[in-house]
Structure 1
């Protein structure tokens, strides 16, 4: 028998040995009720009002005798911190999930966005995959550890936070800056990962170990105003257009990390030969094969290309006020996503050199700035996550770099090793409009149950007394 098969069998048997008292069919029914109750609560941000859901969590946790604290910068937007205490032989484990969701346009939903409708094997509703699936999984994990009287080597902390979708000052920033001792931990498990299915079959399990850092740059051009009937070489819109094109066409340096190198090498191992050759070529920068592979990814797999370098996307252009007037100024805003190891000021200087136009200013624009850090792959937490996900999904586990942002950035900056996990989702769902932030957000019901079981086992193995 192969070593990996032996390992997976050992992991599964260890989980079964400690879960003999659990009726998972009953657990599925209970967590479904919690989950649908949560999805039916409107916690969209803005305006942001998570108190109904936080009150629900407090009630459920306290009814089971679990220690709970509330920390709120704004009364209607609280953060819930629950704790199961261990013997202290290991540092705590933090489970984090956010209570708020992005907004909805109800007219675009077939099923009402807060209905938690079950249909065809899916559960529909805002927050089903971002992030009330993780809220429900963490809640159920806390309940099961308590009911099973699991002896713990480390405290298990559950942070259900507000404001992740647009008001981090009242959520994670408030908790890190004012109440860090309540959530300080060795490891954190949160959102950001997912098991990827293609054609209904599991392709790989992604665990988020790093994320790019959102910034914004403003290009502002100035020129001479004039009548539109007389073209001017100093036209501010023309200068701005050249600058936008230069920024968008620029190829910043490719930078590798443990996460990125491991991501492409493991992705190659589970891909068809042609794709696998491209992914392997990316591990040899400076070669013709690398250049061809990167060009292909930019055109056909932009998400995979985007993890290799800091990126720029022009998103807002503002200039002019009537058809027959050449304006004296124009501006554009660029969405910038920096790699964690990128030097922001050096990046800005490099972009100014790329634009190379004295009539165009290139400066940082106002935006929430997150700290930059990545999590290691050589930790106990990553090893356990990898083993459990392999056992539950019979697939390769791949560390990933998120192009978006999560609140784990603030914890990583304080030294906590954070890992993003999530349920299996269909790769086809996003482009069809069924993914996170879409108008038909949904989760596969059976995969939700499987995720809850894997989540519980990860936490149990990391925290239970040895």
Structure 2
């Protein structure tokens, strides 16, 4: 490939990526309509036949296929269109107006994972334009709602969109390393109860204080003593807190939301047992969502 060809491909990739970043798709709240419409148009411009599957209001998957020779199962190029929210902190660079500074492009989703979408589309379009056919179909599968409940990926499985696939390549940011394992995500609400009362009365059973004590113990808790060769150790993050009804009232309820990243060998019931061991009988544990860890042969 000549330098001119490489430059043209990079220009096309950056243009596509900039367009993806400029179409906001944070989840929550979760709405891929704008970015899916943009992707649909761009893929058709590259010459692909596109399926636009709006399976719920505002929740859209995009699927395109480059036919292969039919000798092998298909290869899926998989990525999610949604991003994390932008938060409340002021951004140094506008989140939805992409800016190139030096050798980096800034914007929400530039790494996770709109750059992956752009790279996969450009790679597939190169194969198409050169008339090169893989032994099986190449399937571009861009899903909704990965950041919360993987609703788009579940929909693809439900309708059989990937039933003839044998391999799956996901363009999550990995510093260009090929990774054959991924941690699971166990989301829990940790709830504790106390007793309400006027805050001027000393003592009492303050649910917030109990939750603080639990979180201190949580920071020292080891879920696994043996590191995974690729994923290393599991992690626990406290990413949500809720408690209290009035400044002058002792809280009888407190809740922390945990994001626990699990290893392939770990079991949910055993994790909760370890959490119970650092709490008391006033605590309860509610599973919000669970995405199992994955590991394939290297």
The TM tier, using the shorter chain, reads 0.7 to 0.9
1:121-179 deviation line (CA, Å, top 9, x unaligned): 3322222112111111111111110111113211111112222233532x112112x22
More strand by share: 2
Bigger relative contact order, structure 1 or 2, given CA contacts below 8 A and separation 6+?
1
- SS state of the match for residue 108, structure 1? coil
Alignment map for 1:327-338 (pairs within 5 Å):
327-338=251-262
Counterpart in 2 of 1:308? 233
TM-score (norm: length of structure 1): 0.56
1:338-367 deviation line (CA, Å, top 9, x unaligned): 223211012212321232x23x223124x2
Structure 2: unaligned runs, 5 residues or longer: none
Task: Determine which of 153, 168, 175 is the counterpart of 1:172.
Answer: 153
- Taking only aligned residues, the RMSD between alpha carbons, in angstroms, comes to 3.0
Does the Cα contact within 8 Å between 1:98 and 1:160 map onto a contact in 2?
yes
Residue 218, structure 1, aligned to residue 189, structure 2: yes
Task: Determine which of 25, 34, 38 is the counterpart of 2:7.
Answer: 25
Runs of 4+ in 1 over 6 A off after TM superposition: none
Task: Determine which of 274, 282, 291 is the counterpart of 1:350.
Answer: 274
More helix by share: 1
Structure 1: unaligned runs, 5 residues or longer: 1-18, 196-204, 261-306, 378-466
TM-score (norm: length of structure 2): 0.84
Alignment map for 1:7-406 (pairs within 5 Å):
23-74=5-56, 76-104=58-86, 108-166=90-148, 168-169=150-151, 171-176=152-157, 178-182=158-162, 184-195=164-175, 205-232=176-203, 234-260=205-231, 307-309=232-234, 311-322=235-246, 325-355=249-279, 357-358=280-281, 360-365=282-287, 367-377=288-298
**Aligned counterparts of 1:216 and 1:371: Cα–Cα separation in 2:** 11
Q: What displacement does 1:28 show?
A: 1.8
Does the Cα contact within 8 Å between 1:87 and 1:153 map onto a contact in 2?
yes
Distance change in 2, residues 1:321/1:80 (3 Å): closer
